[in-house]
Amino acid sequence: MESNPTDVCYESDHTAESEFNVINYFNDDDSNLFFHRVDSDQIIYQPRQKKAKLFGQYIMGDILGEGSYGKVKECLDSKTLCRRAVKILKKKKLRKIPNGEANVKREIGLLRHLNHQNVIRLYDVLHNEEKQKMYLVVEYCVGGLQDMLDYAPGKKFPIWQAHDYFHQLLRGLEYLHSQSIVHKDIKPGNLLIATNEVVKITDLGVAEVLDIYMTSDICRTSQGSPAFQPPEIANGDEEFSGFKVDIWSSGVTLYNFTTGKYPFEGDNIFRLFENIASGEYTIPNELDSSLAELLRHLLEYNPANRPTIKEIREYSWMRRKHPQNTERVPSPPANDMLDAHHRMSVLPYLEDLHRVESTDDGPSDDDKTSKHHQLAPPSPSVAKKQAVQKSKKSTCRQS
Amino acid sequence: MTFTDQVQPNAGDFNLLACIGQGCYNSATISLARHIPNKKLLAIKRVHLEVCELDFTSVVHEIVMHQQLRHKNILESYCAFVHGNEIWLTLPLMGYGSCRDLLHAHFMTGIPELTIAFILREVLNGLDYLHKWNIIHRSVQASHILISANGEVCLSGLRHCCSMIVNGVIRPKIHDFPSQYVHSLQWASPELLEQNLSGYNTKSDIYSVGITACELANGVVPFADMPLTQMLLEKVEGTIPRLLDSPTHTNITSIDDGISDGSSQMSGHRRSTHESIYYEMPASVRVLRNFSNSFHNFVKTCLQHAANRPSAEQLMQHNYFKQIRKRSCQYMLPELLRPVAPIMESTIIPDERISIGGPVESLIPKFQWVDIDEWNFGSDTSKQSAQLREMFPAERTYSMMNQQDSIPETSTAKTPTESTQTLQKAFNSPDTSPKSRKATPKSSRKAAPKGLPELKKSSESSDGPNWVE
C-alpha cells in the first residue's frame, strides 16, 4: 500500500491522468499549493490518485489537525463503516515533550475505561513498532469549539448555543468527576463537536485520577493551559481541590463562549498569573444579569465558594430556555473552506483501494491487458448473455 | 380479556418447543413455545446476557420500542422478563418466519412480484406509522419483515430504530450512526453511511425499502458481492441498484460495451459490479424474469436522492400497488407463498416431542401440501411440472418456468411475472369494466381460506389469470 505513486497502472490512457501522477508526487506530503494550479474540472480526478493506506482494519483519510505529538487524521473502520479519527503519535516526537510518553500512557489508560456521550470514546489502540508510531482510534468529530469560536462573528456563540454546549460540558465533567478523574485542562480547545452537535471532552493527557481510597480531591500538580487556571494554581499553592479547578476552568470557558474574551489576560504567563492571582476581572455589561451572576460564582476566588456541578444546574440561567433568535454558529468548513458538510475524506482513498485491488490480479508487466480485464465483464458471462438474448428473440419469433 | 393480557411474565407458563431462529447477531435465540395456560403457540426471543457482546441498552431499547408501538404492521410483544441469565421477550408466532427465511428456503432466485407488492405495501404502512411518530426504523431488510401463518406482515428489528426527537425538539435531520450496525449496512441509505453534517431523516428508510425490494425480487441483496467499503463507495457515488430481469439485462450488455473500449469510464459511467450476481443465476431464470415497469419505477423512486424520495404514505399510492388494490394480504399471502408451509398449530401436533433447539426443517415435512401449482392455470402443464418438481425439488421454480417457455402462447399457463404483466396491461386498458374488477377480488377472498382448488375453478371460469386481480 505504501508503494511509489508512479507504479499505478494508469500511464497509458489519458494525458490528464499522467499529469496528475506528477502532481501526486507532491500531493503525498499534503502540500495544498498544487491544488490552486489546476482547473476546477480537473480537481475531480485528483482524488483518484490518492493512495489508500491501511492500518489494522482502518483506512486512512485526510488530516483533521496537527499537534505537537503528531497528526490527527480521519479514518474509516472497514468492518463497521464507522467514521473515526485517529491520533497518530510518533514516539520520537513524544520523547521530546516533557512527560509526553507518560501523559499518553495515562490518557490511554483512562479513556479505555470511560464511556459517556460527552467524553471522547477511545475505540482502538494500534502500534507500529517499525515506524515507531502509535495509533489511537477515537470518535470522529467535525471540529473543536475553539475553531468554531475563531470562525464565529465576534468570536463568541449565541447565548442559546453557549447554553447548550455548557450544559453538555457539565454532563461530561460530572461523569469524569464521578469516575474520580480531574480533567485539569477544560477549555474550548479541548472540547470537540460531533456531527450530531454533541460536545466531547477530549485530551485527558494532563488529567489526574484520584486514589479511590482518598476522601478528598486534593491535587498537587497542574499542567493545564495558563489562561484557564484558577488563582490557587496561579499563586502556586502546594495543594488544591481538583474538582474546583475544573469548575473554574468551565467558568472561564463559559465566559469565553458568551463574550468572546477571556476574564484574565496577560502578555506573558507571569503577567497572566499575576492577573489571575489578583482575582480582578470584569464582566461585560451587555451580559444578562443571571449569566453574570453564574459567571461570578464560577470564577469565585475562594475554591470553597465555587458551586458544585449540581449547584450550577440550579442557577436560573442554566434552567432557563434561551430563545434561538440567532443563527447557529457552524463548524468551519473542512478542506480549505470548500466542504461545509465535512464529507468523508476517505472516499478517494477507497476508490484507489478498490481499483488497485482489481488490477492486482492482472499481469503487472502488461498494463493494457490487465486494465481490459478489469473493465470488461468476465467474458463467459457476455457469451451467456448474448446466447440468452438470442434465445429470447427466437422464442419471441416462435410465438 | 385478550390474549395479550393473558401472557404473564412467568417463565413457567411457557413450554419451549424448538429453536426457530436466531436474532441480534446470534446472541439471541428465537424459540417456538407454547403458552401453557391457554395452549397457544408463540415465539420467545431469548437474549443471553452473559454470552452476548451486545450493548445492553440496545436490548432494552428494543423491548421498550416493541411495547410502546402499537400498529398492525409492527411486531408487538406480549411481555418481557428476565429468566435466569436470559431476557425473554414473548412475541406472537410469525409462522412463515422472515422474508429472508423465505428467500433462503424456497425462493432462492427471488419472490414473485405480486407477492412482493403485498409484502411491501404492509411494510410501508408500518413505516408510515413509525415516521408519523418521528421514528426512523433504520434497518428495514428482508430479515426484519415477518409474515404470520395467516399472512399478516410485521416489521421487527426495532433495535436500531431511533427517534428524531432530541431533547424534546423534532430535528429535521439526525446524524447518529447506529452501533452494531454491521448486518444492516447493505440496506442503509447513502446519506446515513456518509456520516457527515447533512445528516439523514425518515427518508433513509425509504431507501432501505428500495434495497429490500431488490433483495426480495433478485433473491440477493444488492452489493452483497463486494467488500463493505466498496459498497459505501458505490452508494455515495450514486450507483443505483435495480431489479434484475431480462430487459435490464439487455441494458447491462450495452453499458459493458461502452466501458470496455475505455471511453466512458472517465465520464463517470460506472459498471454496476454489484449486478455480477445476476450472471450466476440459471439462464432460464434470467430470461423469463420480467418485472413490470411500475415495479422498476417503484424501486427507482425509492432509491433516488433523499430530497426527491417520496414519503411512505406517498409511496403506498404508487402505481406498483395498483395491481393488488385494496385486497388484504391476510388471505392472499398464504396462497401466494405456497408451497411454503408456515409453522402453526397444525404442523406440530399431536405430540410435542420436538427437542428444544431442534431445527425447523424437521417440522416442515410433517406438513402435507396438496397442490403446489398455484401459478399454473391450465391443467395440462400442472402434471408435467409436478413431475419435474419431483425430479428437481430444489430447482422447482426454474423448471416450471422452463416448462412454460416451450408452451405455445395459446396456452393459459403463465409464469408469475408474465401474469402480472398481463395484469398490468389489463389495468391500464380502459375497456376492463370496473364492475368485473370489483367482483373478482371478493370471490377470490372468499375462496382463499378454503384452499386452492376453489380458487382455480374461479380462474378457469373467467379467461386469463383473473384470480390474481
Integer Cα distance of A144 and A64 in angstroms: 10
pLDDT at B359 exceeding the cut of 50 = no
pLDDT at B247 exceeding the cut of 90 = no
CA distance between the termini of chain B: 38
pLDDT at B89 exceeding the cut of 80 = yes
**Is domain A143-319 given the CATH code 3.40.50.300 in the classification?**
no
Residue B407, chain A, CB below 8 Å: the answer is no
- C-beta separation of B229 from A59 below 8 A: yes
- C-beta separation of A57 from B228 below 8 A: no
Are residues B142 and B221 located together in one domain of the fold? yes
As given in the structure block, the three cell numbers for residue B347 are 404442523
Dump pLDDT digits (tens) for A311-348.
999 999 999 888 888 888 888 887 766 788 888 888 88
Integer Cα distance of B74 and B14 in angstroms: 23
Q: What pLDDT score does B57 carry?
A: 85
Q: What pLDDT score does A305 carry?
A: 93
The helix/strand count (H/E) of chain B reads as 19, 12
Locate cell 418447543: which residue?
Answer: B17
As given in the structure block, the three cell numbers for residue A233 are 494554581
| Cis bond upstream, residue B282 (ω within 30) | no
Angle CA(B171)–CA(B173)–CA(B174) in degrees, nearest 5?
Answer: 90
| Domains contained in chain B, number | 3
Torsion angle of C-alpha atoms B224, B228, B229, B231, degrees rounded to 10? 30
Are residues B75 and B101 located together in one domain of the fold? no
- Give me the active site residues of A, please: 185
pLDDT at A382 exceeding the cut of 50 = no
Q: Which of the residues B195, B263, B289 would you substitute to probe the A interface, choosing the one with the greatest number of A C-beta atoms within 10 Å?
A: B195
The winner for highest mean pLDDT among A370-379, B55-64, B293-302, B385-394 is B293-302
**B285 within some domain:** yes
pLDDT at B201 exceeding the cut of 50 = yes
Least confident of A172-176, B23-27, B63-67: B23-27
Are residues B305 and B415 located together in one domain of the fold? no
- The DSSP call for residue B9 is S
Q: What pLDDT score does B164 carry?
A: 93
Integer Cα distance of A173 and A156 in angstroms: 22
- Phi and psi at B71, nearest 5°, equal -160, 150
- C-beta separation of B77 from B59 below 8 A: no
Q: What pLDDT score does A65 carry?
A: 86
Residue B183, chain A, CB below 8 Å: the answer is no
Are residues B308 and B161 located together in one domain of the fold? yes
Task: Name the residue with higher pLDDT: A339 or B315.
Answer: B315
- CB nearest B250 (choices: A81, A196, A389): A389
| Cis bond upstream, residue B339 (ω within 30) | yes
Enumerate the β-bridge partners of residue B29. Answer: B22, B46
Q: Count chain A–chain B contacts defined by CB atoms under 8 A.
A: 108
Mean pLDDT of B380-393: 43
Dump pLDDT digits (tens) for A290-307.
999 999 999 999 999 999
Cβ of A194 within 8 Å of Cβ of B195? The answer is: no
Q: What pLDDT score does A383 carry?
A: 39
- The DSSP call for residue B228 is H
A87 marked among binding-site residues = yes
Contacts A344 to B, Cβ<8 Å = 194-196, 236
Least confident of A18-27, A226-235, B288-297: A18-27
**B174 within some domain:** yes
Q: What pLDDT score does B349 carry?
A: 52
pLDDT at A9 exceeding the cut of 60 = no
Integer Cα distance of A291 and A297 in angstroms: 10
Least confident of A175-184, B206-215, B263-272: B263-272
Distance of CA A313 to CAs A167, A168, A248, A280, A316, Å? Answer: 8, 11, 15, 25, 8
Integer Cα distance of A299 and B3 in angstroms: 62
Integer Cα distance of B201 and A217 in angstroms: 45
Integer Cα distance of B164 and B173 in angstroms: 7
**B441 within some domain:** no
**B405 within some domain:** yes
As given in the structure block, the three cell numbers for residue B133 are 411518530
Cβ of A140 within 8 Å of Cβ of B195? The answer is: yes
CB neighbours of A140 closer than 8 A, spacing ≥ 6? Answer: A74, A82, A83, A84, A85, A194, A195, B195
As given in the structure block, the three cell numbers for residue B109 are 432466485
Whether A143-319 and A54-140 are alike in CATH topology: the answer is no
Integer Cα distance of B266 and B258 in angstroms: 11
Quote the minimal CA–CA distance from B109 to chain A in Å: 17
What are the DSSP calls for B82-148, one per residue? EETTEEEEEEE--TTEEHHHHHHHT-TT---HHHHHHHHHHHHHHHHHHHHTTEE----SGGGEEE-
Count of other CB atoms within 10 angstroms of residue B224? 12
CA distance between the termini of chain A: 57
CATH assignment of A54-140, among 3.30.300.30, 3.40.630.30, 3.40.50.300, 3.30.200.20 = 3.30.200.20
**Final residue in a domain of this structure, among B428, B445, B463:** B428
Of residues A193, A192, A259, A263, the one with CA closest to residue A231: A263
Are residues B155 and B293 located together in one domain of the fold? yes
pLDDT at A236 exceeding the cut of 60 = yes
pLDDT at B116 exceeding the cut of 70 = yes
Of residues A190, A182, A228, A179, the one with CA closest to residue A208: A182
Residue of chain B whose Cα is closest to the Cα of A340? B197
Cβ of A81 within 8 Å of Cβ of B193? The answer is: yes
- CB nearest A384 (choices: B174, B283, B409): B283
The helix/strand count (H/E) of chain A reads as 16, 13
Residue B197, chain A, CB below 8 Å: the answer is yes
- CB nearest B175 (choices: A196, A371, A382): A196
Residue B230, chain A, CB below 8 Å: the answer is yes
Q: Which of the residues B25, B163, B191, B197 would you substitute to probe the A interface, choosing the one with the greatest number of A C-beta atoms within 10 Å?
A: B197
pLDDT confidence band for B264 (50 / 70 / 90): very low
Integer Cα distance of B211 and B208 in angstroms: 5
Residue of chain A whose Cα is closest to the Cα of B408? A399
Q: Which of the residues A388, A396, A398 would you substitute to probe the B interface, choosing the one with the greatest number of B C-beta atoms within 10 Å?
A: A388
Distance of CA B376 to CAs A368, B324, B417, B449, B469, Å? Answer: 52, 19, 12, 19, 15
Of residues A239, A234, A214, the one with CA closest to residue A224: A234
Integer Cα distance of B269 and B335 in angstroms: 43
Integer Cα distance of A342 and A336 in angstroms: 11
The winner for highest mean pLDDT among A381-395, B176-190, B449-463 is B176-190
- CB nearest B197 (choices: A342, A386, A391): A342
Cβ of A76 within 8 Å of Cβ of B198? The answer is: no
Mean pLDDT of B234-255: 73
Dump pLDDT digits (tens) for B72-82.
999 999 999 99
Rg (CA), chain A: 27
Q: What pLDDT score does B411 carry?
A: 37
Are residues B130 and B279 located together in one domain of the fold? yes
pTM of the complete model? 0.72
Residue of chain A whose Cα is closest to the Cα of B262? A375
Q: Which of the residues A62, A79, A195, A370 would you substitute to probe the B interface, choosing the one with the greatest number of B C-beta atoms within 10 Å?
A: A195
- CB nearest A350 (choices: B185, B233, B252): B233
Quote the minimal CA–CA distance from A239 to chain B in Å: 40
**Final residue in a domain of this structure, among B34, B56, B91:** B91
Q: What pLDDT score does B270 carry?
A: 43
**Final residue in a domain of this structure, among B58, B91, B124:** B91
Are residues B362 and B327 located together in one domain of the fold? no
pLDDT at B418 exceeding the cut of 90 = no
pLDDT at B177 exceeding the cut of 50 = yes
Are residues B281 and B232 located together in one domain of the fold? yes
**B440 within some domain:** no
Dump pLDDT digits (tens) for A68-87.
678 899 999 999 999 999 99
Contacts B198 to A, Cβ<8 Å = 341
Q: What are the boundaries of each domain within chain A?
A: 54-140, 143-319
The winner for highest mean pLDDT among A174-188, A377-391, B8-22 is A174-188
pLDDT at A22 exceeding the cut of 80 = no
Integer Cα distance of B147 and B93 in angstroms: 9
Task: Name the residue with higher pLDDT: A192 or B382.
Answer: A192
Distance of CA A267 to CAs A235, A257, A285, B347, B378, Å? Answer: 18, 21, 25, 85, 96
Cβ of B229 within 8 Å of Cβ of A59? The answer is: yes
Mean pLDDT of B274-301: 78
Quote the minimal CA–CA distance from A198 to chain B in Å: 10
Are residues B309 and B383 located together in one domain of the fold? no
Average pLDDT of chain A is 78
Count of other CB atoms within 10 angstroms of residue A326? 13
Task: Name the residue with higher pLDDT: B3 or A21.
Answer: B3
pLDDT confidence band for B253 (50 / 70 / 90): very low
pLDDT confidence band for A276 (50 / 70 / 90): very high
**B291 within some domain:** yes
Least confident of A177-181, A192-196, B191-195, B289-293: B289-293
Full domain range(s) for residue B186: 97-336
Dump pLDDT digits (tens) for B29-50.
899 999 888 888 899 999 888 7
Mean pLDDT of B445-450: 37
Quote the minimal CA–CA distance from B364 to chain A in Å: 36
Cβ of A378 within 8 Å of Cβ of B279? The answer is: yes
As given in the structure block, the three cell numbers for residue A136 are 489511537
